[in-house]
């Protein structure tokens, strides 16, 4: 059943406790303790829900994790402070920052927050209760809000306290999804369940083992699955091909054989491979037929014939899902296969859904992000959704 969204609650005069995924990539700046954000997409994508609450006369208390801090104290490397600053720039209004999550600073700033105000709490994972799903920690956070909103798509596959125990502790109060989570579910679940055909999935990345469940699930609903990335070499081994020094998972060869059998003609493998004699851009290169990679060489990208074929299949598709690069995208010229596929997706009229992580980064870098239907903000979460998994953090929210 569809989940109630933030658009459907009256937030006037209310404190909305909103879980967002502000786990953004950061880099250090010389002579500055504070880190710098290198990609703020996850923050920008949360703006509609935040703005909706402010326009509706409510106030917003934002909570997120950032990275995987080991200690409990405020290690600057894992602080959400730069995120609060970026949010202030993007919203064009004051954003308060609390130096803790359930400590004095957070509690007093949350309780004194006026309607129209925005408060960002410090990294939830500075408190071990977040990963442990601690009841007391959750109770205190829950006491800050009149409404709970989950707009943290990238974290929806987790059962951390802020995702599950906090909304559970808010019985009787509205618990809804934000616009971002609603949009992600719409594309990654609903569109896929009722696709316009042909429905083509393109799966890449290094390991078959990461994509087993996705392949199983999509074989049941797709018309074609195009395989790229290093996982193609494990499939090639399963077919008795020569893979030279390519990255393979020898213990997954049997599984690859099973998937090949189950998939039949639906599962499409590369016909050629761009390989090199070292994992370096300036190595000696060769294009060979798939399954004929000589000793001393490793596959680093799909070959040009495969790229052209995959492009053709994509151009005829009505729905496309893409997850995982076709080759070593960050090391040209082994980015050619990924580029060709991305370009074909951008040019097609199909409903196109780009899974998070590397493929999202690739489509952004190539400048095609606004020519696809949806670029997911979730890495692990988008994979889990493509696997057909249900998320406890979403299931427990109010139905329409």
Report the interface residues with ligand 3PG, using CB under 6 A.
21, 23, 68, 154-155, 158, 379-380
**Residue number with CB closer to ligand 3PG (101 or 155):** 155
- How many Å apart are CA 342 and CA 358, to the nearest integer? 12
CA 282 vs CA 278, 279, 332: distances in Å: 8, 9, 9
Contact 352, 375 (CB under 8 A): no
Task: Assess whether 357 carries a catalytic annotation.
Answer: yes
Q: Single out the residue of 11, 4, 141 nearest to residue 64, CA to CA.
A: 141
Each residue of 76-114: b (16+ CB within 10 Å) or e?
Answer: eebbbbbbbebbbebbeeebbbbbbbbeebbbebbeebe
Residue tagged 């469940």 (tokens): 213
In the complex, least distance from residue 384 CB atom to ligand 3PG, rounded to whole angstroms: 10
Query: Which candidate in 58, 324, 357, 379 is catalytic?
Result: 357
Task: Assess whether 207 carries a catalytic annotation.
Answer: yes
Query: Which candidate in 3, 19, 42, 224 is catalytic?
Result: 42
Instruction: List the single partner that 155 binds among Mg ion, ligand 3PG, none, CB under 5 to 8 Å by kind.
Output: ligand 3PG
**Residue number with CB closer to Mg ion (66 or 161):** 66
In the complex, least distance from residue 91 CB atom to Mg ion, rounded to whole angstroms: 26
Q: Single out the residue of 400, 398, 382, 46 nearest to residue 191, CA to CA.
A: 382
**Residue number with CB closer to Mg ion (304 or 380):** 380
CA 280, 285, 291, 295 dihedral sign is negative
In the complex, least distance from residue 327 CB atom to Mg ion, rounded to whole angstroms: 23
In the complex, least distance from residue 380 CB atom to Mg ion, rounded to whole angstroms: 4
Instruction: Could you list the beta-strand ranges (E) of 152-253.
Output: 175-177, 199-203, 224-227, 242-243
Among all residues, whose Cβ is closest to ligand 3PG?
Answer: 23
Instruction: List the single partner that 388 binds among Mg ion, ligand 3PG, none, CB under 5 to 8 Å by kind.
Output: none
**Residue number with CB closer to Mg ion (43 or 340):** 43
**Residue number with CB closer to Mg ion (151 or 301):** 151
Instruction: List the single partner that 158 binds among Mg ion, ligand 3PG, none, CB under 5 to 8 Å by kind.
Output: ligand 3PG
Give the helix ranges, DSSP H, for 25-76: 41-44, 47-55
Instruction: List the single partner that 357 binds among Mg ion, ligand 3PG, none, CB under 5 to 8 Å by kind.
Output: none
In the complex, least distance from residue 379 CB atom to Mg ion, rounded to whole angstroms: 5
Query: Which candidate in 4, 207, 285, 389 is catalytic?
Result: 207
Catalytic residues: 42, 207, 357, 380
């Amino acid at each position: 059943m569809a989940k109630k969204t933030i658009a459907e609650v009256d937030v006037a005069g209310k404190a909305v406790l909103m879980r967002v995924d502000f786990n953004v990539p950061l880099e250090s700046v010389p002579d500055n303790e504070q880190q710098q954000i290198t990609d703020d997409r996850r923050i920008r994508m949360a703006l509609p829900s935040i703005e909706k609450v402010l326009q509706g006369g409510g106030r917003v208390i934002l909570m997120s994790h950032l990275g995987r801090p080991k200690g409990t104290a405020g290690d600057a490397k894992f602080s959400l402070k730069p995120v609060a600053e970026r949010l202030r720039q993007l919203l064009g209004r004051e954003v308060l920052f609390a130096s803790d999550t359930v400590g004095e600073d957070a509690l007093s700033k949350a309780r004194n927050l006026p309607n129209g105000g925005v408060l960002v709490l410090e990294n939830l994972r500075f408190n071990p209760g977040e990963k442990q799903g601690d009841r007391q920690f959750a109770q205190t956070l829950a006491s800050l809000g009149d409404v709970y909103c989950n707009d943290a798509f990238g974290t929806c596959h987790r059962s951390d306290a802020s995702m599950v125990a906090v909304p559970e502790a808010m019985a009787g109060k509205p618990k809804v999804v934000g616009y971002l989570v609603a949009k992600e579910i719409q594309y990654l679940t609903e569109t896929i369940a009722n696709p316009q055909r042909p429905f083509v999935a393109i799966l890449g990345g290094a390991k078959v083992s990461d994509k087993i469940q996705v392949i199983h699930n999509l074989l049941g609903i797709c018309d074609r699955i195009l395989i790229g990335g290093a996982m193609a070499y494990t499939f090639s081994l399963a077919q008795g091909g020569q893979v030279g020094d390519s990255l393979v998972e020898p213990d997954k060869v049997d599984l690859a054989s099973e998937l090949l059998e189950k998939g039949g003609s639906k599962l499409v493998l590369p016909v050629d491979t761009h390989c090199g004699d070292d994992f370096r851009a300036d190595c000696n290169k060769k294009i060979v037929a798939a399954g004929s990679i000589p000793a001393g060489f490793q596959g680093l990208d799909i070959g040009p014939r495969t790229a052209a074929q995959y492009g053709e299949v994509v151009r005829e598709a009505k729905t496309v899902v893409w997850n995982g690069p076709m080759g070593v995208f960050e090391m040209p010229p082994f980015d050619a296969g990924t580029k060709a596929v991305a370009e074909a997706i951008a040019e097609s009229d199909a409903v196109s859904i780009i899974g998070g992580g590397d493929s999202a980064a690739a489509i952004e870098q190539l400048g095609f992000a606004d020519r696809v239907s949806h670029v997911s903000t979730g890495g692990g979460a988008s994979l889990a959704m493509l696997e057909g998994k249900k998320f406890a953090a979403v299931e427990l929210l109010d139905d329409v």
